[in-house]
Amino acid sequence: MPHTLARMSPVKVIGAAIALAFLTTSNASASFFLADRYNLPANERAALEQSYTRGSSRKVPERFNRRVVSYKENHRAGTIVVDTKNKYLYHVIGNGKAWRYGVGVGKAGFTWSGAATIKRKAEWPAWHPPAAMRARERAKGRILPVRMEGGIRNPLGARALYLYQGGRDTLYRIHGTNDPGSIGLNVSSGCIRLRNEDVEHLYQRVKLGSRVVVR
């Protein structure tokens, strides 16, 4: 982008360079898209966008598409059940039925199981990477922000459901993603991620206080 950089101040040149470097060293779910802060021409922004989302090109198997399925387990209507082995989230409707969604789950060493309660819901949530996550990524040469405002590039995606145990925030979320190609994979630090259109669908149907079972 030499012709664009020539028009930018030294501070902006450095910032744009950082953005490009970060895009080439981070995956889509962790990228802090600094180029948004600069007034880039549309064609160059499109090129950056394509680079940014290149990790989302994986075709997700059709079995992970949202659908209503038979559900025979003994959970009351409104309960969310996450099957981490098979990468499904069930939202129990009742009468032997549930909505089933494909999800991305914790990678090796970050899976968990247990029961939790949804105590908070947020649209286009801000992302606050935990200190432990920031330290892990820093050791890999990736600098995560302390806070990232909600938006299409935020790894929490369009919606988030906050999981609590005993009145305390677990730091785990059920949320959307800016990397839809990751659905069906072990990719997260323990959170459960859905496509944005799926998490919006789920969000509309879930009430505060709903029980979540992760197994």
Choosing from 75, 91, 128, 191, the catalytic residue is: 191
Indicate if 75 belongs to the active site: no
Is 128 known to be catalytic?
no
Give the C-alpha separation, 190 to 195, whole Å.
16
From the candidates 3, 128, 175, 201, which is the catalytic residue? 175
Cβ neighbours of residue 10 under 8 Å, at least 6 residues apart?
A: none
Overall size of the chain counted in residues? 215
CA distance linking residue 37 with residue 82, whole number of Å: 37
CA angle 67, 69, 71 (to 5 degrees): 145
Q: Is the dihedral of CA 142, 145, 146, 148 positive or negative?
A: negative
Instruction: Give catalytic residue positions.
Output: 175, 191
